[in-house]
Structure 1
């Protein structure tokens, strides 16, 4: 028997803003809104329970302290890393320095709330 990741929960100050950012980054759609202000996004064709995990942005007033212990990696699907980097920066991502040497094949970025994520080089099939 095994488990599968179905959701990733992101505590954040502004679920609306982060959900909008990550919808654009991933090509996801809004799946649900909770009374507490949480917003769930996921793949348009599958939704919750499909082959990809959904993201749930949950409001939290707790400040983030220190480096994240878990981060998201993304790969471009329909163009190269440089073009995807330009697109992500235009959406509101910012470059981040977490001690990289400059020779890495990935780019370290932050989302609009400062959560680190990496843009990898390899282009993959969007499915």
Structure 2
């Protein structure tokens, strides 16, 4: 019997372009392949085969991450990198938060007034 997998939530469904790959994954595979082949052809005369292959693997890694195979916190990689950059670099680590409590402000003003009144009433007589 043929079984078809159906998602519980319609937002989890991703349309497939070629076989099991989505459009985003196909584009990233093509761009990564062109980058790797071009870099390997450029580096082969100057470096050994192992070194050129290692550099090509490093150059292909952003395309693998951008393809959507790895989705941290359910976000696409560019959204995750943008959110990480904002929270780690642009946002302050210690947030300055000042609370303006109007009740506390009035209470402090009344205390100051009472202290001033007490000072005026009390007169100290010095002994001669």
Which is helix-richer, 1 or 2?
A: 2
Question: What TM-score do you get using the length of structure 1 for normalisation?
Answer: 0.19
Please identify the structure whose Cα radius of gyration is greater. Answer: 2
The answer to which structure has the higher strand fraction is 1
| Greater length-normalized contact order (CA 8 Å, ≥ 6 residues apart) | 1
TM-score with structure 2 length normalisation? 0.19
